[in-house]
Each structure stands twice: as C-alpha cells, then as structure tokens.
Amino acid sequence: ANWMPDLFMKRVRDELDWTLFSPDETPDLHHIYGKKFEATYEKYEKMAKEGKVSLYKVVKARDLWRRMLTMLFETGHPWITWKDPSNIRSPQDHVGVIHNSNLCTEITLNTSEDETAVCNLGSVNLSRHVMEKRLDQELIRDTVSIAMRMLDNVIDICFYPTVEAKNSNMRHRPVGLGVMGFQDALYLLDINFDSEASCDFADRSQEMVSYYAILTSSELARERGAYQTFKGSKWDRGILPQDTIELLERERGDKIDVPRIERLDWSIVREAIRRNGIRNSNCLAIAPTASISNISGTSSTIEPIYKNLYVKANQSGDFTIINPYLVDDLKKLNLWDYEMLGKIKYLDGSIAEISEIPRWLKEKYKEAFEINPRWLIKSAAYRGRWLDQSQSLNIFYRGSSGKDIADIYMYAWEMGLKTTYYLRTLGASQVEKSTLDASIFGATHRREENMAEALGRVMQLKHTLGVSSEMEILTPAPSISQIMEDSEKIQVVLAKSKEGDAKLCKIDDPNCEACQ
C-alpha cells in the first residue's frame, strides 16, 4: 500500500512538484501528519534547495501519481491509503501515531516499538435485520449489544504470540464491529445500489450500528472499567467519530461533502461516555467478510454483487450459484426458465442485454462492474463518518482510462476516505461455458468474435427448418441478446418437433440446476 499524506494529493491536484527524500535525513516525517507534516516537509524542501540535504529528487507530483495508478491498474496494488484522515480522525491521537493499516485496510490503529496493533473483528448481517421493508432498529440494538460483549471477551481469552501484541490489546482493547449483507439488504428494500437512496441507507444503517456499539462499550466500561489509555482520548474529550469530519476539514482546508445530520439521540451516548468512560479504544471497522458471508449465505461486506451467476467449487464439487433475489423477481414476471438461465450463463451473469427483462429489473440487479465506482465511494464516505476505524473498500472499474482511474481516487480522497483496497478490473476474455450449446454460440470465451459465426449458424438452422417469418432476426446489426433469443426459439421448435411440446425446467424442483 501507499501511505499518502494530504499534501501529496494537493500537489497532484494543483500540478505541482513533489520532493523525494531519504528517511535517514527526514526521520520525523513518518511520525507526524496534518499541518505539522506540511510545515516540516516544506522545511526539508527549503533545506534541499539550500544544499543542507544530500539525497533528494524533485519530480512532478502527477507523474508519480500516474506511476502509482499504472501499477495499481496492472496488478491491483499498491492500495491507496491516506495517513492524514486516518490519524486526524483517530480517537487515540493522544498516545501515538497510525503508521499503516492492516492487510485488508480496515484497521487503523497505533503502532510503536513496544506495541503491535491487534484488532478483533465481527460483522452484523444487515439482510437479516430487514423486516417488512425496513431496517429493524430494535433487532440491530440486540445483535450489536451481544456482539460487542463477545468481542470484548475475546481480548481477554485470546492467545498472543508476542509481548508487543498483548501490550497493545490490553492497554487499548480495540475491537472492530462491521457489517455485511449490504447488497442483500438493498434488494429486500428495493433500493438500487447506484442511487442516492443507497447512500442514505449506508448512512442510516451505519449510524444505528455505531450508536449501539459505542453505547454498549460505554455500558461495559461501567461494568468492567474503561480501557487504560481512555484519559486524553477523543472519547474523553467528548469527540465522537461523526465530529471528526469537521476536524479533518479544518486541518486539510477543504470542504468534505458528506451529511452532518444525526437521526438518533446521540446525547444519550455522549452522557454515558462522560459518566462511565468507554471500554474499547476503537469499536468499528468493516472487514471484507468474503468467507463468513458465504457461510452466512449473504452478500459480501458493503459491496455490490460481483456476479448474478457464478460457479463455486469446494470438496463436494462444483455448484452453480445464481442470485436468489433475481430468480424470485423473474419468477414473479413468469420469465424464469431454462432459456433465461442459458442467457444469463452466456452473458456471465449480467442481465443488461436480455431484451425481455424490464429496465427497472436491470437497474436493480446491476453487477459490480456495471455500477459507476463513484457510487461505491459516496456510500462509503456517508458510512465512514460513523466509523472510528476504516472499511475494506474495493473499487470496481471496467475501463482502461488512466484519467478515469485518477479521477476516481481523487474523488475518494476529496470525500474524506481513509483507505481503499483492491482496484478490480475486467479481463479481456470470457469464461467458457461447458453447459451451453457450442454448436449455436461457438466458443463462449470469445463472445464478440463469435457473433457473426453464431448468426450464420442461426440462419442456417432457420433455412433447414423452414422457420416462419415471425422468427426473423431484427436488422440491421442484431445484438448478442437478439441472436440468443432467435437461437433459443429454434431450439423450442426442435423440441416441439421431437416431443410435441417444449421442455422447460420445473420451477420449484430442488434438483434443477437453475434452482440451486
């Protein structure tokens, strides 16, 4: 990962120079941030010009930024993370500096010579808390309260392989309660991911989780005592995570465009902390949850669905997994059958090109690469104001424009994000499908190249069968979905000619591949 100061982002934005130093001549830069970093950095630049620094190099900030993003596009690394928002918004700014995040970029805790940061994680499945088209606040309260107690217990019963790890965890007692099933919750609420309503839900849902997590930690402090370094922390100074957006704005000198409203009565939380202290230095972090989301049968973390259809492999074999919410909606419209499954398979899970599916359904079931990444960033920024740590945020981008990528990450910085995770991009090939008829579609991993060949096969079959004019292909330039639709009609004709009727899947048959 790159641990980026705000000053560098300002230099990129303003097309200015950046000076590279050797850390043996500038040892304090790694341990300071904000305005103090900017003043010290500019002092070293002045010293370099005066010949008082021996090893340095001046480059264009945009050229260095471009090199970073080129590598990011090619490999998914280095992840872009920002030191200033991570430190300025940290509740533990009184006892040390955050020098980096963890591997998945959601943990932002102090480290030092005698402390190795440790964090204990859990996630609330939002989709299990949607009842009757609303997020059930009482159910969130119960789940979060239990989860926080469990996470605090883990600190005491955990095995620590190093003294430094035990020192850190026992002194500060940080935990990271996050969320998963965000996309599934949106499905249940009939909210499109790329919408203002989705950002509003990210804001509201995270406020609920954060409210009860922090309140429970304060109640634990009353029962068990506050963590050792509570005195002097932001908690002790009456500063909650949502208050730190203003601190970041002041230190950075730029407006951060996120809401500032509070829907819940936070005066209760503030009073509890004033009276009891708080048990955990940090309470909130959103981890990737890839494995536990699969185990829980929900969508991963805070991301849009990656694919509406994919194949999962484990020791028991290969399983075709299809988005159950999509299947339910297609059944309601009488659109779910083997033909529809074949189209979705051919299009790698996307339904964007399937003509008989209505537009509103296509909007609801967009896959990750069909959503503008700015929506992921905006919802993360709205959610992030309630977090005392960070969130593991993948960026999904289907293009190859360096300018677009630069704009995406500049937008993430402008919105006050602390960290990002992988940059996910699309490969040039398509997955081969062993369960589709290659005699109709050709090699499906080269779909675009095979359109003309597939069209030729369709026309040849139509000529052979003497298919009526009602099945003529639209002209000019038929789309992939039109070719598929025409070929499937031919298959229906073939089935009728052999058995007198078309064979479709049994919609509610648990042994049917389409209904797995």
Task: Determine contact, residues 434/86, Cβ cutoff 8 Å.
Answer: no
Greatest Cα pair distance, the chain, in angstroms, is 92
Return the ∠ at Cα 382 (arms to 169 and 374), rounded to 5°.
115
Task: Determine contact, residues 515/327, Cβ cutoff 8 Å.
Answer: yes
Residue 215's nearest CA partner among 260, 268, 263 is: 268
- Rounded CA-CA distance 441/33 in Å is 58
Q: Known catalytic residue: 106?
A: yes
Residue 238 tokens, joined: 């009456």
Task: In the chain, count H helices and then E strands.
Answer: 19, 12
- Rounded CA-CA distance 378/70 in Å is 23
- Residue 57's SS3 state is strand
- Active-site residue among 38, 87, 100, 102? 102
Residue 72's nearest CA partner among 429, 384, 397, 414 is: 397
Q: Known catalytic residue: 219?
A: no
Residue 178's nearest CA partner among 257, 276, 282, 268 is: 282
- Rounded CA-CA distance 81/102 in Å is 11
Q: Taking the alpha carbons of 446, 452, 453, 455 in that order, is the dihedral positive or negative?
A: positive
- Active-site residue among 87, 100, 104, 110? 104
Q: Which pairs count as long-range contacts for 58-63, CB under 8 Å and 24+ apart, including other chains?
A: 58/17, 58/18, 58/19, 58/20, 59/17, 59/18, 59/19, 59/20, 60/15, 60/17, 60/18, 61/8, 61/11, 61/12, 61/15, 61/16, 61/17, 61/18, 62/12, 62/15
Task: Determine contact, residues 327/366, Cβ cutoff 8 Å.
Answer: no
- Rounded CA-CA distance 275/278 in Å is 9
Task: Determine contact, residues 380/393, Cβ cutoff 8 Å.
Answer: yes
Torsion (CA) 474, 479, 484, 486 in degrees, nearest 10:
0
Q: Indicate which residues carry an active-site annotation.
A: 102, 104, 106
